[in-house]
Amino acid sequence: MSNKKSGGDSNTVGNITNAQGIAIGTNAHASVVGHNIQSSGKIDAQTLRSVLEELYDGLGQAQLPRDKAITAQTAVGNALGAVQDDKVKPDTVVENVKKVGETLKQTNTVIQEGSSLWQTIQKLLPLIGPLAGGASVVAHWFGLGI
């Protein structure tokens, strides 16, 4: 951003991409409602699908209470349903992956560093992160810090 003064207030802003809620000036305010979702064309659908399938399998081995295992695996199934061929429905994927993390937190499941579930989530972070506000946001859903 550069400020050029030429009699009165004037702000010149360069190119802004992949951003929401930009406000410039005295008492400026910006409100953002919803997610900052990038185009689904930039997501590697095949890789995302493969990692979601790994997550589904990992949840089956996580020794969760039956009802929570069903909830978590159903959410992964719904996310998988939003990844078809080269088309991805980002909102659906994000919503359901977040639900998996919330379900794991509800059961006080600790994901041990180095475990197969931990490794799967590490693969998921760079894929889902750009859709959800960053990899650290997604890691937080699963009770992980990065």
pLDDT tens-digit series, residues 53-73: 999 999 999 999 999 999 999
What pTM does this model have?
Answer: 0.71
pLDDT tens-digit series, residues 12-35: 666 555 455 566 667 776 655 544
38, 18 contact by CB (below 8 A): yes
CA dist., res. 121 & res. 52, Å (int)? 9
